[in-house]
Structure 1
Amino acid sequence: MTTGPAPTVLPRFVVAAPASGHGKTTVATGIMAALVREGLDVTGFKVGPDYIDPGFHALATGRPGRNLDPFLCGEDLVEPLLLHGARASGPTDVAVVEGVMGLFDGQIDGAGFASTAHVAALTHSPVVLVLDVSHLSRTAGAIVHGLTTFEPGTHIGGVVLNKASSERHVREVRAAVESTGVPVLGVIPRDAGVEAPSRHLGLVPAEELDGSAGLVAHLAQRVSEHVDLPAVLRIAHGAPPLTAAPWDPAAALGNPPVSGPRPVVAVAGGRAFTFRYAETEELLYAAGLAPVPFDPLRSPALPDGTAGLYLGGGFPEVHAAELSGNAGLRDSVRAAVAAGLPTVAECAGLLYLCESVDGHPMVGAVPGRAAMGPSLILGYRNAVAPSSSLLGAAGTRVTGHEFHRTTVAWATGRTDAVASADPAWLLDGRSDGIALDPAGTGTPTVHASYLHTHWAGHPGLASRFADAVHAFAAAPTPSSAHLVPSSAKPPTPSSAHFVPSSAAPSQCLGDADGHDLLHHGDRDVQRGLVDLAVNVRRAAPPAWLADVIAGTIDGLGTYPDTRQARQALAARHGVDPSCVLPTSGGAEAFTLVARGIATRQALVVHPQFTEPEAALRAAGHAVGRHVLTADHGFRLDPAAVPAQPDLVFVGNPTNPTGVLHPAEALRALRGDGRVLVVDEAFMDAVPGEPESLLQPGADLRGVLVLRSLTKTWGLAGLRAGYVVGDPGLVAGLAAVQPPWSVSTPALAAMVACSSPAAMAEADRAAGLIAEDRATLVERLTETGLTVVPDSAAPFVLVDTSGLGPGSIREHLAARGFAVRRGETFPGLGPTWIRVAVRTPDVSAALAGALTDLRRSLRAS
């Protein structure tokens, strides 16, 4: 005899209202945030297809907001999806479900199907009613009485009175409501600060509000002050146990085998693409894929290894100018789609793939032009696939919903493959969207439509898309070869062959025991992980720079000539060309310093990028260390640096701490017979470069400054760097540099990147890095981790010792993120990680993974 799953105790309640506009979102979000402040683990849900409210739930709880919709997923899945959501990010103390519209308002002509009351009944959940009493007094009691008695089985456990005014008014309303036998749980006074901004499709998403975190904090405070939270929790704990089995994405897909590399599915995020269901990415992962977020507003190209593209919903019409301005990404997407990249585009994704939106150029992968229309198109839809497509065979039937105010005018009279394209769906018999085969593969690889679907209700859509992505990744074709890089990694070298340091003349000098000095962040990256380990921000150079590099191809039969690059770099820094030496990236510069500078004893200031020390040791130098510590903020005190070494190497801003040392402190390290080498590889990520030693008129005697174009301009594969400094020292480096070590394309890049326009672009990029870094620090701090303060670099150093004594890298990798390990840097241990600055949506996803990890570790 078989038995079902054991009953699950899940405290829960549904927040409902008599109609829209009573304050469900503000009260529900405020309750969630207030309960989290009380130390509870809360998971938020939303009745219906809405994406915006779950964004506020996620801000309040630190967990993904989820949807419960009987129309989109079927009645049988509502309880399993509730249980899955409650455990997906760790144990849940209480689940809060925000309703939709009025308590009994559901599908038109559906007799309340998919209403808040329907979901409350399916999940056996009590209801907390929010009632706007700003224009009511005693009638409030009649409304509560009616809602309580209208439909048998609906249990209203209490009422929160919203937008109350005077004490006299409150007494009248409270008495009327409590006469029905339903208790009043709280009274929230009028307060404009608890209302989120709205626009043509409802509330503005949390991701687009600069003050959204502050708004949620304010809601938590107001709810804590005015709502009886213990009474609310008593209602939640009164919910009966649930008997269904939690939904499982792998089981929904038939438990597909998952082995080998995970092809990357680029998932659009950021402020313009805020609409997608959490279960979509969970299904993709269960199908053996690696969902990797990117921001069409900011990302310069699709993520490395992209083998599939998911463009969900959002507001591209609001951000059309910015989306259009990111021409590099538009070109990347257009080329990838044309090459047959499996692509699903829902609503906002459809608009992004069009030729234009309100006159702003878009990707141009589908033959349509979008514009704002006169009215809102909103509602549930039954859809059928008119022909075989990327998401289903001909005749596949699904449910979905539309939510847009734009319309698309499709091009006619074309003679290419687009002319014979089929609609993506028939919505209640009406054509919607387009299914395309731009690469001529014989089957559509693009599915673009206004229809939003919930893949948990239709897992066959995820399976079919995943099959196409796996096939694309495995195909030995030119189109996929450049999108899916090889997983082969170079072997990790041992540090055993390095020359050990001589006896240390002071305590601050040491050796390299226990450190792999040639460990780089790219070795912490694995296919399928979001790369937060490598500090190269761009996946490829911008289009104008790529054109410059491509323009050198016809001259590759001639040996490289460095003169023009030296002159351009010299003009860039206001020095004589004799002070400049182009190099094949920073790596060659480190080697040239080690080979071209005679020294009795070298000193490296740590924590610091280890490759310079590796180069010095490989060249036979005696190397010591001056180790800066966390309790002093990893800041340099020149007076504490030993006087004996005649070569001192220091980074600014330092890798991995991000600390920007004052130029005055660095100049204090100079001395008779001492060479000061400053690695400024990340200085162009600092707006204005205020602490660079390469200021106009600077005294460069005894100084070598190493610079890199790799980080800002996406040239890691080209190797473009240079040295600026004392001309006598520069000549010594040039004497040991192999002939023609710097390629013609790299030299052309140096000239182009030294132009005033390029320098201005780099400074703007530095400003964006500073903004994104502030967001990253805020998100990491919210998780309870310690971040080294005041980083000026495109990365931050984080102490994770609060999560335990060991490294969390493997835990983060299991959750889809690669970070740079800290224990390879002298002075740091395994609890330290370096995290590269990425776009805010990636930072939010990382914070969610860390919060999930903290809960998991605490539960274990």
Structure 2
Amino acid sequence: MTGLARGLIVSAPRSGSGKTVVTIGLQRALSRRGLRIGGAKTGPDYIDPAFHAAATGRPSCNLDGFAMAPATIEALATGIAAEADLIVAEGAMGLYDGLARGAATGATADIAALLGWPVLLVLDASGAAHSLAAVAHGLATFPGAPPIMGAIVNRCASPRHRRMIEAGFARIAVPLLGFLPTDARLEMPSRHLGLVQAGETADLEARIEAMADCIAERVDLDAVVAGAGRLRAQRIPSSQRRLGSPVASAGQEPRETPAYAGVTVVEGDRHMTEPSRLRPPGQRIAVARDAAFAFLYPHMLDGWRRAGAEIAWFSPLNDEAPADDADSCWLPGGYPELHAGRLAGNARFLAGLRQFAATRPVHGECGGYMVLGQTLADSEGKVHRMAGLLPVETSFAQRRMTLGYRHVAWREPTGFAERGEMRRGHEFHYATITGGAPANLADLTDGEGNPLPPAGHRIARVTGSFFHLIA
């Protein structure tokens, strides 16, 4: 193949249909054919892209239709396509699931339409047969539907079950490209925020190989490759693509500064975008990275590096402190609630973090915010002392799911944003705040603009909140 890679998006009517397993299996099965496979995930998700990277041997990134301007999505997709022969992307939730109001809903269908990538449906056959065809037909003919290249049926119970499903599909235009059985090889361990992280999954390589075996045996891979579509170049006016100028999509607030603006690069008959980058919080950034602090979006990390910043990794779980020569520190989200006792006992990490915060900025997102607080109660209710740098107490014992897109306006300046600047992102956590001072860092609204209580804290150079920054 030449030029930009073709692509497709694996989607489904709902979560739990088997999108991730099918995506990983396809990526590895097609890689075995000698194709360079790229990966991507629509929507806010830290975990699935790591599985894509394990399956393909190449980085995967997020394409978020709510938080990112169209030029940003195009630039990221173009970057993947330039290094691959075929992109197998994974959708979030159901194909049309997104915000109820607003031009930027975040739905997978919007990303497919924007980029020109057709959709490969995954349909869970548990408890259904002929009706699967009706579901596929509805998805394919819904107003504004992107092209549907075909469907893979998951959890097919028997040859008789398959014949019933095929009878239904004989009445519609969506082709059947494969049947997968109910098989332990096609299941992945999960926990409260989704799948167990790729780096923590036992026998990950063997699992991926088994998924690829199953996909290769039961899916028409030639049809999958043939059905992929070329990346559709978005001809956004160059006046909106000048370095440093906002690229606003419909419905964005005029005060908002997107994470990326762009510069048009013309190559042959393609219009590509070289994105400018989100301001890094420092020149040399100490970033926590281990099983407790793993949630950092690849496009943000790449943006910091392209802006000239250096990354100095450290592991709080291994009792490491931020690098002495760093000028800022970033504690990403992750699973500190699963490691609270160990973190509380890591004196070198906690002392080093406190010493660092005395002279340089520190920011924590979600799990990082919890560790910057006073205490963290684990799932059994045992209270562990944390860094004590922010006036907040959190608990994983008093669980309540908080999930959704967010607009944030900073009340206080941070190392990466000025007071009053607006950003887009999301929250996804089960922990609750059980005590501490009133929030003073940011004002929030949900994705549809409905006001939410203030969020986060700032004390001197230390900031943090449950908010995950996307753009």
Q: Normalised by the shorter chain, which TM-score bucket?
A: 0.7 to 0.9
- One-letter code aligned to 1:394: R
Please report how far the alpha carbon of residue 304 of structure 1 lies from its aligned counterpart in structure 2 after TM superposition. Answer: 5.0
Residue equivalent to 1:453: 469
TM-score normalised by L of structure 2: 0.84
Match of 1:354 among 357, 367, 373: 373
Q: Is the Cα contact below 8 Å between 1:422 and 1:436 reproduced in 2?
A: no
Mapping 1:22-171, distance limit 5 Å: 22-87=17-82, 91-110=83-102, 113-171=105-163
Match of 2:453 among 430, 444, 454: 430
Mapping 1:398-477, distance limit 5 Å: 398-412=423-437, 422-427=440-445, 428-437=451-460, 445-454=461-470, 457=471
Structure with greater contact order relative to length (CA < 8 Å, sep ≥ 6)? 2
- Distance (whole Å) between structure 1 residues aligned to residue 46 and residue 190 of structure 2: 14
- One-letter code aligned to 1:210: A
Higher Cα Rg: structure 1 or 2?
Answer: 1
- Distance (whole Å) between structure 2 residues aligned to residue 241 and residue 429 of structure 1: 37
- One-letter code aligned to 2:370: L
- Distance (whole Å) between structure 2 residues aligned to residue 234 and residue 362 of structure 1: 54
Residue equivalent to 1:321: 341
Q: Is the Cα contact below 8 Å between 1:207 and 1:270 reproduced in 2?
A: no
Match of 2:274 among 227, 230, 248: 248
Change (3 A) 1:246 1:165: same
Please report how far the alpha carbon of residue 165 of structure 1 lies from its aligned counterpart in structure 2 after TM superposition. Answer: 1.2
Please report how far the alpha carbon of residue 387 of structure 1 lies from its aligned counterpart in structure 2 after TM superposition. Answer: 3.3
Change (3 A) 1:342 1:246: farther
Please report how far the alpha carbon of residue 25 of structure 1 lies from its aligned counterpart in structure 2 after TM superposition. Answer: 0.7
Please report how far the alpha carbon of residue 79 of structure 1 lies from its aligned counterpart in structure 2 after TM superposition. Answer: 1.7
Please report how far the alpha carbon of residue 247 of structure 1 lies from its aligned counterpart in structure 2 after TM superposition. Answer: 4.6
Q: Are 2:333 and 1:294 aligned? A: no
- One-letter code aligned to 1:366: L
- Give the structure with the higher percent strand: 2
Q: Is the Cα contact below 8 Å between 1:265 and 1:309 reproduced in 2?
A: yes
Residue equivalent to 2:252: none
Q: Are 2:417 and 1:392 aligned? A: yes
Structure 2: any 5+ residue segments left out of the alignment?
236-270, 378-382, 446-450
Residue equivalent to 2:181: 189
Q: How many residues align?
A: 423
* 1:654-679 superposed Cα distances (whole Å, 9 cap, x missing partner): xxxxxxxxxxxxxxxxxxxxxxxxxx
- Distance (whole Å) between structure 1 residues aligned to residue 272 and residue 230 of structure 2: 17
Please report how far the alpha carbon of residue 110 of structure 1 lies from its aligned counterpart in structure 2 after TM superposition. Answer: 4.3
- Distance (whole Å) between structure 2 residues aligned to residue 301 and residue 41 of structure 1: 38
Mapping 1:714-793, distance limit 5 Å: none
Mapping 1:370-381, distance limit 5 Å: 370-372=394-396, 373-381=398-406
* 1:131-162 superposed Cα distances (whole Å, 9 cap, x missing partner): 01121111111111111111234211010010
- One-letter code aligned to 2:421: T
Q: Is the Cα contact below 8 Å between 1:133 and 1:161 reproduced in 2?
A: yes
TM-score normalised by L of structure 1: 0.47
Q: Is the Cα contact below 8 Å between 1:104 and 1:112 reproduced in 2?
A: no
- Distance (whole Å) between structure 1 residues aligned to residue 8 and residue 387 of structure 2: 44
Please report how far the alpha carbon of residue 20 of structure 1 lies from its aligned counterpart in structure 2 after TM superposition. Answer: 0.8
Match of 2:230 among 209, 232, 239: 239
- One-letter code aligned to 2:37: V
Please report how far the alpha carbon of residue 177 of structure 1 lies from its aligned counterpart in structure 2 after TM superposition. Answer: 1.8
- One-letter code aligned to 1:248: E
- Distance (whole Å) between structure 2 residues aligned to residue 301 and residue 377 of structure 1: 30
* 1:24-47 superposed Cα distances (whole Å, 9 cap, x missing partner): 111011111211222221111111
- Distance (whole Å) between structure 2 residues aligned to residue 395 and residue 279 of structure 1: 24
* 1:826-851 superposed Cα distances (whole Å, 9 cap, x missing partner): xxxxxxxxxxxxxxxxxxxxxxxxxx
* 1:363-414 superposed Cα distances (whole Å, 9 cap, x missing partner): 22212221023320000111111233333222211111110111234435xx
* 1:409-438 superposed Cα distances (whole Å, 9 cap, x missing partner): 4435xxxxxx9x83244443521111221x
Please report how far the alpha carbon of residue 59 of structure 1 lies from its aligned counterpart in structure 2 after TM superposition. Answer: 1.0
State the identity as a percent.
38
- Distance (whole Å) between structure 2 residues aligned to residue 397 and residue 121 of structure 1: 27
Please report how far the alpha carbon of residue 246 of structure 1 lies from its aligned counterpart in structure 2 after TM superposition. Answer: 4.4
Residue equivalent to 1:10: 5
Please report how far the alpha carbon of residue 252 of structure 1 lies from its aligned counterpart in structure 2 after TM superposition. Answer: 3.7
Residue equivalent to 2:331: 311
What do you get for the CA RMSD once the two structures are aligned? 2.3
